[in-house]
Amino acid sequence: DAQLSGIKNPAKRQRLPKRTDPTRWRLRDEAGCQTWHYLDDDAEAKKWPQSLADKYFLEIPMNLPDLPKPTNPTEAVRNGLDFFEKLQLPPGNWGCEYGGPMFLLPGVVIAWYVTKTPIPLAYATEIKNYLFARADPNDGGWGLHIEGESTVLGTALNYAALRIVGVEADEPEMVKARATLHRLGSATHGPHWVKMWLSVLGVADWAIVNPIPPELWLLPDWVPIAPWRWWIHMRQVFLAMSYMYSKRWVCEETELVRELRQELYTEDYARINWAGHRNSIAPTDNYHPKSWLLNTVNWALVHVWNPYLRPNLLKKRAEQWVSDLIDMEDENTDYAGLAPVNNPMNMVCCYIRDGPDSYTMRRHRERLHEFLWVKGEGMLCNGTNGVQCWDTAFAIQAVVDAGLHTDPRWRPMLLSALEFLDDQQIREETPHKDKSYRQRRKGAWAFSTKTQGYAVSDCISEALKSVILLQKTPGYPQLLEDQRIFDAIDTVLTFQSPSGGCASYEPPRAGEWLEMLNAAEVFGNIMVEYDYPECTTAVVTVLSLFRQHWPDYRADEIKQFIQRSVGWIKSVQRPEGGWYGSWGICFTYATMFALESLYSVGETCANSEHARRACDFLLSKQRPDGGWSESYKACERMEYIEHPSGSLVVQTAWAVIGLLKADYPDVAPIRKAVAFIMSRQQPNGEWLQEAIEGVFNKSCMISYPNYKFVFPMKALGQFHHRYPNENVV
């Protein structure tokens, strides 16, 4: 009991310790399933010593010696690998924190609370530390993501999470955060998902939540708005939300619940006009205002359908089908879930339906831990259950690009990475494939692990590229026989959209007009799949590599696929010459990919107007020190905006790769950029964390800490390969 936070037994509530002992944390990685453990017991801690990777993640000094100063880019890559090798985890993959979004951890904590799941004291302590570390230094609130300004979403949810893990309302941090929340309009002005979570927690009334009708799932498939057509993240989140909404389920009222009702609002809780605040939203949270159509539908559902028309039988049937779909998602992913938004929600649904000691609840409890990550600042929630396959694929490519894959020095590292990808290939279709509307996935890779099991067009492609590159290198074993490579290609070939481009998890199943029903307010481009230059390029480049080695397999289809994809990429080039990036920040990221696509069909500056315009665009953004520096604001506003903190290595690397792929004729600016990247390398071979790298849904940023290793190494390796005699240092 002493090791649990006070939530189980409020009488025993005690102030949380200042911090845990960082030398007692360990990361366990079993076949890509990553969990953090706090070892209270000295003997156990001795038996299981901290690894260098643990120390790195926890920001404990690694005491590594300085390496010889590189005299050329390839030597810099060697130094980089020397460091990066130490972060490889036992199964062969790389891992890292995958934070950024500030709405994930509260979902987990609220789900724990309402399902009476005890929170280990070490977790509670480090969750507090992380949230305190990430509060806005000026106003004490939290934004949608770590670099964003304070919002109701971030502040209301993280405030509640802190109170749940055991922080008292009179702590100075809490007083400050509360003032900001009240200034922004209080929790009545939160977006949809905040109102939903607070209602489950019993600190708001369900009447404040815009409708989430489970009946939607009874619509026949041909209906243009039927949920199976939505982007997979939206449909999975709405699914679990609709179950809780339909039941208007509320957790047990506790002392803490009563206190939060006083703290989150400026008005007297008993007198709040809940229904009247359904559409109240702070300007800070209103990135995508609701359309007139959605407002009308909501009005009709609240005032006509729910009170007068909704037959009880239909409600029951809808709840039953939603519940079945939740089970399918849980079984398909062994309770890991698609992402840490729907997973905690599914857990609450299982609790409501199956009770606290059911198998479904126990398994959810276990697997939820895979989303949690510990770093120097404390404990956070990752955006997925890890970055395993994605980062491992890029790590392999970085070595290959530098031509170091034939050097025996890196063979053990690469072999172990290959073994990991071998183990993580998805070999079977989803158990409930058609009933749960899943895309084909045999032969695919997921972003994280095969138990999560969601194929993504570019995750399959990057992993497959890495496998082919290594297996075609003399001396490497053929772990994947040809048939498994063909399985992957067969799946990849199902991903082309009618436009010719490729989307993320499935080809689009409805048009952009469905954004009219985007109810989330805080995100853009969330309702349906879109085609992305990044995903399309990954597919184009793997198909190009594949056909070099297997020129006869589905040759015509592959040829056509590539042509149409590249045609689509050209068609979405912006007038300024760049491409808008949806998963990395921002134009620099997507422009690199687009130029890789052009290169793979033989188009460079020498023969392509598209490539020339793209290079001019990139070079117009190069800074005097040789670097690039793009801000996350570019994603929100869809125009190139500089980051205030000056040149950044990751973006500089992206620009270098793009220019090299386009074979830009003047080496001078590229050499300068390469020199900049080398100047930022530390004597032990590492690069330090700079600004946030990734994005989703236009408005939310997410960290890719390993990008500061893999992309600089790719850029340096490619440069040295192309210009072996250029003197950089």
Binding stretches for ligand LAN (CB under 6 A): 233, 237, 339, 341, 383-384, 390, 447, 456, 458-459, 504, 523, 534-535, 583, 696-697, 702
Whole-number Å distance between alpha carbons of 644 and 165: 35
Whole-number Å distance between alpha carbons of 569 and 593: 10
Place of tokens 């946030």: 692
Whole-number Å distance between alpha carbons of 283 and 25: 41
- What kind and span of H or E run contains 380? strand 378-381
Whole-number Å distance between alpha carbons of 290 and 650: 35
In the complex, least distance from residue 700 CB atom to ligand LAN, rounded to whole angstroms? 7
Question: Active-site residue among 285, 458, 487, 531?
Answer: 458
Whole-number Å distance between alpha carbons of 454 and 456: 6
Backbone angles phi, psi at 170, to 5 degrees: -90, 0
Place of tokens 């100075």: 172
In the complex, least distance from residue 505 CB atom to ligand LAN, rounded to whole angstroms? 7
Cα 630 versus chain centre, distance: 19
* CB atoms inside a 10 Å sphere around CB 575: 7
How far is CA 515 from each of CA 294, 342, 512, 528, 534, rounded to the nearest angstrom? 10, 20, 6, 7, 22
Find all residues with CB under 8 Å of 336, minimum gap 6, and list them. Answer: 343, 367, 370, 385, 449, 451, 452
- Name which of 256 and 650 has its Cβ closer to ligand LAN: 650
Whole-number Å distance between alpha carbons of 13 and 16: 9
3-state DSSP helix/strand/coil % of the chain, to nearest 5: 50, 5, 40
Structure token pair of residue 479: 């772990």
Amino acid at 636: E
| b (16+ CB within 10 A) / e for 105-139 | bbbbbbbbbbbebbbbbbbbbbbbbbbbebbbeeb
Cross-strand partners of 701: 695
Place of tokens 């205030």: 644
Closest alpha carbon to 451 in 394, 397, 384? 384
Backbone angles phi, psi at 577, to 5 degrees: 115, -15
Mapped to the 3 state alphabet, what secondary structure does 506-528 carry? CCCCCCHHHHHHCCCCCCCCCCC
Whole-number Å distance between alpha carbons of 440 and 406: 35
HSE-CB at 488 with a 13 A cutoff on CA atoms is 30
Annotation says 40 is catalytic: no
Closest alpha carbon to 448 in 502, 506, 371? 371
**Looking at the annotation, which residues are catalytic?**
458
